Structure 1
Amino acid sequence: MGQPGQTSTSQDSLTVRDNRTGKVYTIPIVDNAISATAFKDLKAPRKAGERAENETEKGLRVQDKGFLNTAVMQSTITYIDGDAGVLRYRGYPIEQLAEQSTHLESAYLLIYGSLPSASQYTHFEREILNHGVTHSDAAQFFRSFRYDAHPMSMLTSAFAMLGSYYSEANPSLQGQRLYTQGDAASLATMDRQIYRIIGKATTLAAMAYRIRQGREFVIPPTGLSYAASFLYQMDHIGEENYTPNPILVKALDTLFLIHADHELNASCTTVLQTGSSLVDPYSAIAAGCASLYGPLHGGANEAVIRMLISIGKPDNVPAFLEAVKKREKVLSGFGHRVYKTATLIHGPLAFGCRTGQDQLLETAMALHDAAMKDEYFIKRRLAPNVDFWCVRPLIPQCCVI
């Protein structure tokens, strides 16, 4: 930052005059961003009667309560332009990945920076699927919950529970440089936790589901894909040679892929914040699950389902929308702070439609069509978002509320 009173001839800078002191400051602009700490140089004497807590003599603070215009890190992982409906993983358009890739292949891309070769993908998929099995204590752990416990409450607790089983993954026990040494052993330890977390996530989710259904747990099968294994664990009730519906498998895999990364959303930020203390990765993921739980984040999916259930059938949609306009009802799944379009989700929706009629799906379609023709919602740019289209009729086994 330039000295007070100086000006810069560089166009890649911001000139700020502090009217409290009359001083002028030059702040560099790098990658269309300025450093918040640069404003610490903008100091002023505390005025008579001013709050001591303002600490004006220690520099100017930057206030952004909702992180509406704050970049906390640089990343090449994901790019989003919500207004244009653009989502890219490592430079690849999400539409291309959804059509030509799988969830695990895209997960590899996000984690390691490039799409895997055939041998790399085989190894990655095998390790993840092999790590889907949980310790036998997990069954007792899930049975300790009430039959009507919320699945996200159980899943959050289950991830925290996993942290107690893998001391090798805990920097508190193995040393603060466990994941930062950069040697082969450190990277291998990191990879094992990646395999375990991704592999066990679906198993734990399926166990939470089956507790709600009063069913016995299912051991992850062999020979099925990641999404198919998840559906199998949720829906298998003893049928001989049972395999999940391939249409639902494709829809679920695509939905997993689309949701794999959305920049620094609430749950991702929570994981990074928690992990920065060098806690074990399972505890960090548990914290992320707790953030995801809320109705203003991942819980929005559930809010949409509850809304559709309350509407009941397509014939009730007009009355519901009128109640929304009068602020008597809440419209869930429309509008978003970042995403303004959700066209890609229609692909998985089409898969879901091919599995048969469902009144909830018909209600969702009727709600979409009516809202998109209504000037009230058009003017307010309240279009259906990703949360709206991740509804029960697509994958009914998943949506337990």
Structure 2
Amino acid sequence: MAEKIAKLELPGNDSIELPVKQGTAGYDVIDISKLGSKGYFTFDPGFLATASCESAITYIDGDKGILLHRGYPIDQLAVDSSYLDLCYLLLYGELPSKAQYDKFVSTVRNHTMVHQQVEFFFRGFRRDAHPMAMLCGVTGALASFYQDSLDVADPKHREIAAFRLVSKMPTLAAMCYKYSVGQPFQYPRNDLNYAGNFLSMMFGVPCEPYVVNPIIERAMERIFILHADHEQNASTSTVRLAGSSGANPFACIAAGIASLWGPAHGGANEACLKMLEEIGSVDRIPEYIEKAKDKNDPFRLMGFGHRVYKNFDPRAKVMRETCHEVLSELKVDDPLLDVAMELERIALEDEYFISKKLYPNVDFYSGIIMKAIGIPTSMFTVIFALSRTVGWIAHWKEMLDQPGHKISRPRQLYTGEAERNFVKLQDR
């Protein structure tokens, strides 16, 4: 097939031919890397029309509601896979054989503990510190403990770092929670699966055995799976940007956590719960529905619609089923959950929401599940970071594995002062 070429007309009767690259799916991409030789750069605030990298990990078609990991639809993975099965797929590109899976799980379990001195880092935090602040700081500090996996030029070091981060993130996340509520840290239990172990470290106490509820365990597993990767979002791009300089993997993941902490990114399910608290009761829903429909009212329904998915969020269908399973199992008597279920009913039946495709998204359902389980809203983004770590690591490894990768260096449109002479202080 002949290579496609885009011709760009430039001022002064000049022009440049730019190659058009085609992926296996999605839009064609114009390669503008040679445009600088003509003295021009593109202007794209937020990089919304810029492909910053070439990747084979995740594909999203927001118009059609498609999310694929290495070609596999997210709904199939969420229903039939496990989180560690997905981790292997994201990291290595193919589903593992039974032997490969067993070895992978064994290696992850052997790395779940953190160095005992990590505990002392937590003593430096205030008791009311936000769990994301603690997670960001402690993750970056891991570089001081695991110095045998910091050579990013060594593929073996990259693999060891990947295992350590995937293995230890649930332990660190649970430690953030335990510290904030004044309970002793719980050691990992390698007799449990990934999600069950996290629940044990979150809710277990030394004075009595913790028994994992299989329905809650599966719900947590699905939350992990559905948040594992989402292509080139802000935090993933941050990890790639930090990694392009050769920074160590723990610093890169800490940078990703910092980016995820922003309310426009990782705080969506927390914002959803705050909205439910504002509404307060089922009888006030009609009032807030009208506010949501009024374009002049600043109120917005959180957890409905998605900036990427213009159709139904493919993750939401699985999460909806899981949400109803959890609420049925726990029989939680909570007015906010009643508000959530009534909002869901209205959004799926009201013509206004249907016409604008404002369907409940994955954040709506995951927030409800975590509240029902007993996880405080301050931990929601921490669990998001825990889930997303494998996606960040997969992209970080992919970038470093690609030959000829360069340090990222975005350009700018400068609008400041032109060159001018400095005036000494006594002459101003």
TM-score interval (norm. to shorter): 0.7 to 0.9
Q: Structure 2 residue aligned with 1:71, among 34, 51, 59?
A: 51
Partner of 1:251: 219
Counterpart check, 1:312 vs 2:289:
no
- For each residue in 1:356-381, what CA deviation from the matched residue of structure 2 results, as whole angstroms up to 9, or x when unmatched? 23333322121122233334433433
Partner of 1:16: 8
Counterpart check, 1:166 vs 2:150:
no
Partner of 1:285: 253
Quickly say closer, same or farther: Cα 1:392–1:129, change in 2 above 3 A. farther
Counterpart check, 1:388 vs 2:364:
yes
Counterpart check, 1:372 vs 2:348:
yes
Q: Structure 2 residue aligned with 1:233, among 201, 220, 245?
A: 201
Q: Distance in 2 between matches of 1:127 and 1:71?
A: 35
Partner of 1:35: 31
Q: Distance in 2 between matches of 1:136 and 1:190?
A: 23
Q: Structure 2 residue aligned with 1:214, among 179, 182, 197?
A: 182
Residue 392 of structure 1 contacts residue 398 of structure 1 at CA under 8 Å; is this kept in 2?
Answer: no
Quickly say closer, same or farther: Cα 1:188–1:29, change in 2 above 3 A. closer
What secondary structure sits across from 2:96 in the alignment?
Answer: coil
How far did residue 24 of structure 1 move? 3.4
Quickly say closer, same or farther: Cα 1:189–1:397, change in 2 above 3 A. farther
Alpha-carbon RMSD across the aligned residues, in angstroms, is 1.9
Q: Distance in 2 between matches of 1:270 and 1:320?
A: 36
Counterpart check, 1:87 vs 2:79:
no
How far did residue 271 of structure 1 move? 0.5
How far did residue 138 of structure 1 move? 2.0
Partner of 1:53: none
What secondary structure sits across from 2:376 in the alignment?
Answer: coil
Residue 133 of structure 1 contacts residue 219 of structure 1 at CA under 8 Å; is this kept in 2?
Answer: yes
Quickly say closer, same or farther: Cα 1:25–1:187, change in 2 above 3 A. closer
Residue 234 of structure 1 contacts residue 397 of structure 1 at CA under 8 Å; is this kept in 2?
Answer: no
Residue 169 of structure 1 contacts residue 193 of structure 1 at CA under 8 Å; is this kept in 2?
Answer: yes
Q: Structure 2 residue aligned with 1:110, among 76, 82, 90?
A: 90
Q: Which moved more, 1:31-40 or 1:154-163?
A: 31-40
Quickly say closer, same or farther: Cα 1:310–1:239, change in 2 above 3 A. farther
Letter in 2 for 1:396: I
Q: Which moved more, 1:69-78 or 1:100-109?
A: 69-78
Partner of 1:353: 327
Partner of 1:126: 106
Letter in 2 for 1:29: V
What secondary structure sits across from 2:68 in the alignment?
Answer: strand
- For each residue in 1:305-357, what CA deviation from the matched residue of structure 2 results, as whole angstroms up to 9, or x when unmatched? 11112222322222222233342423222222212323232232233223223
Partner of 2:398: none
How far did residue 225 of structure 1 move? 0.3
Q: Distance in 1 between matches of 2:120 and 2:288?
A: 44
What secondary structure sits across from 1:338 in the alignment?
Answer: coil
Residue 269 of structure 2 contacts residue 366 of structure 2 at CA under 8 Å; is this kept in 1?
Answer: yes
Residue 105 of structure 1 contacts residue 116 of structure 1 at CA under 8 Å; is this kept in 2?
Answer: yes
Quickly say closer, same or farther: Cα 1:167–1:11, change in 2 above 3 A. closer
Of structures 1 and 2, the one with the larger relative CO (CA 8 A, separation 6+) is 2
What secondary structure sits across from 2:373 in the alignment?
Answer: coil
Residue 133 of structure 1 contacts residue 203 of structure 1 at CA under 8 Å; is this kept in 2?
Answer: yes
Q: Which moved more, 1:244-253 or 1:379-388?
A: 379-388
Q: Distance in 2 between matches of 1:308 and 1:357?
A: 19
How far did residue 126 of structure 1 move? 1.6
Residue 189 of structure 2 contacts residue 197 of structure 2 at CA under 8 Å; is this kept in 1?
Answer: yes
Quickly say closer, same or farther: Cα 1:110–1:11, change in 2 above 3 A. closer
Letter in 2 for 1:24: S
Residue 272 of structure 2 contacts residue 303 of structure 2 at CA under 8 Å; is this kept in 1?
Answer: yes
Letter in 2 for 1:204: L
Quickly say closer, same or farther: Cα 1:148–1:321, change in 2 above 3 A. farther
Q: Distance in 1 between matches of 2:211 and 2:285?
A: 36
How far did residue 282 of structure 1 move? 0.4
Partner of 1:3: none
Q: Structure 1 residue aligned with 2:166, among 183, 192, 198?
A: 198
Residue 235 of structure 1 contacts residue 397 of structure 1 at CA under 8 Å; is this kept in 2?
Answer: no
Partner of 1:47: none
Residue 21 of structure 2 contacts residue 29 of structure 2 at CA under 8 Å; is this kept in 1?
Answer: yes
Number of corresponding residues: 363
How far did residue 198 of structure 1 move? 0.8
Quickly say closer, same or farther: Cα 1:356–1:25, change in 2 above 3 A. same
What secondary structure sits across from 1:391 in the alignment?
Answer: helix
What is the TM-score with the length of structure 2 in the denominator?
A: 0.80
Counterpart check, 1:98 vs 2:78:
yes
Q: Distance in 2 between matches of 1:147 and 1:323?
A: 38
What secondary structure sits across from 1:13 in the alignment?
Answer: strand
Counterpart check, 1:179 vs 2:152:
yes
Unaligned runs of 5+ in 1: 1-9, 43-58, 171-177, 181-185
Q: Distance in 2 between matches of 1:22 and 1:91?
A: 44
What is the TM-score with the length of structure 1 in the denominator?
A: 0.85
Q: Structure 1 residue aligned with 2:300, among 327, 330, 345?
A: 330
Residue 152 of structure 2 contacts residue 246 of structure 2 at CA under 8 Å; is this kept in 1?
Answer: no
How far did residue 283 of structure 1 move? 0.6
Write out aligned runs for 1:260-275 (5 A).
Answer: 260-275=228-243
Q: Which moved more, 1:143-152 or 1:221-230?
A: 143-152
Q: Which moved more, 1:61-70 or 1:320-329?
A: 320-329
